[in-house]
A and B are shown apart, each in its own frame.
Chain A
């Protein structure tokens, strides 16, 4: 590491001898927090056509390299802030310009903003989308604060298991194939058992970067998607607090400076109120209990460094089945994660260095609820654990037209499971894996074209994963593409004979059978006017060495695993219009997902050794419409979601099977109950659709702002299916129509 840093600094010093750079941090003047996406533009006086610029990242950091020393006009802009203009003397060896932007009080449409909007539902770039807190706020939710999970399920290509279970399938991938990070710390199951909630309340978010595929070489170890969440730092200027209560969740947060403009702390806690409040007036049982605690310390040791320490703990307990059934009906899990991140900008160098170290642990248990244990004492408990130490060193060297990003990673992962023979042939020979490696992802910019070829290499496994991302942006048009190979050595196995299975056992994949995926994405976005986006994106994903549940007509509560290959392809269409505070989003996703099993037995059963089927999470059509509009002093929001039916194996009938291997006294052999199927996953469950409404209004009081929100979930009381027992025909439905009323109080901000 020291040699690597020395070499980089030497290169940087050499390059900076010829040119110079302008860099610094853009922050919010009211609270000292970074302003993500702020644009800093430079031009020589009298030569505005020679504009150079850069956008601020999640730390508020920007850098404009490759400048000739001299005088420049500098302008900093960001949506929701007043523009700041200054005249600078940029000297050889680098110049720092830190900008504190003042929030604008005018309506958004009247602010003179030249900056590019980098977020938005339709502003997708080869699988990548940036989500901001204000995007989440417009989606009707059962509480005032809003949550990232509630927004994610509106996106095309993301299939949820329902409003319970916390499982998201992204473009045909399994939930265990998604990686989620909070400030660089992995969170293995960030979605609460009640599907509206995650570990990430909207008011703590700075941004959430979603890669539905084609993610670059900074990320690895998963096949399907990445959700990279950054929590905002606590207010660096003054103490602030908020508290809210709603039928599903109560929340409180406090933040403030320990040392003004240098050190802040943020703490947040949420606890479910479902059983205490919502269950009192909703006819359906709501056996959910969950909560989360998040804390962040943010420190600016020097003008050119940043340090943050983040910790998270979540807990969940939820009913996911019937107490009268043979399968365990309750899921319980916890996440505990913590880590720090140190950002350093060596002086007189266009280099950005970052080191992060973290530890994360996930424990889950599937077992009987107290009610089920009383009536079905034979139902057993299954448990699984996953823990990981991670160290990342990231270096970014900024040149004119070239960002050189590369780094080192070291991950050590531990798994353990007690499965009560859930997976009869699962042998966990390896229960830990060490992954040291390197990655590189340079980005070359030539005019409107940006190309980023990269790779990720893991030493111990000898795995090379090539990656490529590219964009071409000309006026209102943007073409984007991504491709790559992805490998997942730590796998989650689930009994996916139906999509509502929520228990995932973690294990290390055997050598020679490590799941691999190849992605290809091509997208086009049109921005005909600054307040509207339309995009279309096609994707293809091929997966090998997946572990899937073995198909059988034995109604077993356990299953065997077998190897399968998978394929997913489709397209997303998105449109977004924002005018002032009004917004309309329309999303549609079309996807085809198949899995293929090659087994000699298939020849007998299906006429061919190779058997291809639709897995339980293959949702062909998805659509959502979200709209938010200010009316008569309130903000009214509506969301309508639609999903075509998921495949399931429809039983044609039931009888008894006696092995016909010879004469058997039929009075002595009871036989085995048998399900008579046609072919696996040959039928579809009912379609899913739901309408959610909400209305909220702010009341400005002397001490702060009181927000009152009223809502109606599942407004026309659609009986959307969550789980269906093929054997008894009993069903568990998703939430019925639920009226909500939430209150939130935030302390006054000058």
Chain B
């Protein structure tokens, strides 16, 4: 090998030896905080989970967050400063939940801000849904001789977390409460509001399967519950799929950060089914000796 070639090899090796050995570090985000929570116009206390985005995975720190959280009523301009509280969860992780003592008005608009002297500001625009009339139970229809109960929420822009709670007596007069989530296809917007359907043809067998003996059972009360939420609280595709929503860019309303801050309040529609309703189901209305 000539001297020139040998020198060229050494130079090349030296250049390669200088190639970085480091793995590209985590970073490159302009977002600084993740917010999770909801304003509740029926409560005097509001709570907001604030998570500082970190370059490595952590179990949280009890040190105060270097951030100030405020909310501003867009109509009145009133500013509320939230207080940091450190929460140790059951799994040992630590989180920061900011708390504020105020009741946002129905139909109001608020801007929640997180300011950190070392990071860009993070904010979320939150629209509190207006108050709606009480939900009503529409006339019962039937499917294959089993009832279909339909609840109607007038003027509700959106109804999240629709659930049905069944209060049941077993033959030994023990009280059982079975709560089931309403299938997404059965909780839909309609003209002038929102409807939730409960087809007992499919519900009843699954409820009975969850009950302990002894049968038969008496279905004494049904309650439909749901959260009236702002219209923007709608996931892509209309389904809350955690495997999709885990991606922070898929669903959120936080500027300069990730997460979602919504507004919602709970509602309930409760009734006692009639004997005529329950024909075609395995349930009775009551046991006379309970």
Contacts and interface: CB of A to CB of B under 8 A. Distances in A.
Contact of B161 (A651, A653, A663, A729): A663
B93 A686 contact: no
Contacts, number: 157
A715 to B, nearest CB: 9
Interface in B1-39: 13, 16-17, 19-29, 31, 34, 36-38
A655 B258 contact: yes
A378 to B, nearest CB: 13
A136 interface: no
B266 A663 contact: yes
Interface string A601-625: 1001100000000000000000000
A553 interface: yes
Contacts of A655: 34, 51-54, 248, 258-259
Nearest to B25: A729
Give the interface centre of A605, A655, A686, A728 by most chain B CB atoms within 10 Å. A655
B36 A658 contact: yes
Interface stretch (B72-80, B104-112, B235-243): B235-243
B251 interface: yes
Contacts of A604: 236-237, 244, 247, 250
Contacts of B51: 655-656, 671
Contacts of A718: 17, 21
A307 interface: no
A654 B245 contact: no
Contacts of B157: none
B266 A666 contact: no
B167 interface: no
A716 interface: yes
B25 to A, nearest CB: 7
B255 interface: no
Contact of B27 (A605, A652, A657): A652
Interface in A637-696: 640, 642, 648, 650-667, 669-676, 683-687, 689, 691
B179 to A, nearest CB: 13
Contacts of B240: 659-661
A660 B23 contact: no
Contacts of A670: 89-91, 93, 95
Query: How many A residues are at the interface, by size bracket?
Result: 35 or more
Interface string A581-603: 00000000000000000000100
Give the interface centre of A652, A659, A663, A669 by most chain B CB atoms within 10 Å. A663
B49 interface: yes
B166 to A, nearest CB: 20
A654 B57 contact: yes
A603 B146 CA distance: 38
A106 to B, nearest CB: 27
Contacts of B219: none
Given A650-B26, A729-B56, A674 B38 contact: no
B23 A663 contact: no
A653 B24 contact: no
Interface stretch (A25-33, A242-250, A442-450, A719-727): A719-727
Given A654-B56, A671-B36, A662 B264 contact: yes
A459 interface: no
A640 B17 CA distance: 12
Interface string A4-34: 0000000000000000000000000000000
Contact of B251 (A660, A686, A719, A729): A660
A716 B51 CA distance: 44
A555 interface: yes
B268 interface: no
Give the interface centre of A604, A642, A689, A731 by most chain B CB atoms within 10 Å. A604
25 contacts: A553-B247, A554-B243, A601-B241, A604-B244, A604-B250, A651-B26, A652-B29, A654-B57, A656-B49, A657-B242, A659-B245, A660-B233, A663-B227, A664-B36, A666-B49, A669-B89, A670-B91, A670-B93, A670-B95, A676-B53, A686-B19, A686-B23, A716-B17, A718-B17, A726-B26
Given A655-B258, A672-B246, 5 more contacts: A552-B246, A655-B51, A660-B235, A667-B97, A728-B57
The 9 closest A-B pairs by CB, nearest first: A662-B161, A670-B89, A661-B240, A666-B49, A727-B57, A655-B34, A719-B21, A658-B36, A653-B53
Interface of B: 13, 16-17, 19-29, 31, 34, 36-38, 40, 47-49, 51-58, 85, 87, 89-91, 93, 95, 97, 160-161, 227, 229, 233, 235-237, 240-248, 250-251, 258-260, 262, 264, 266
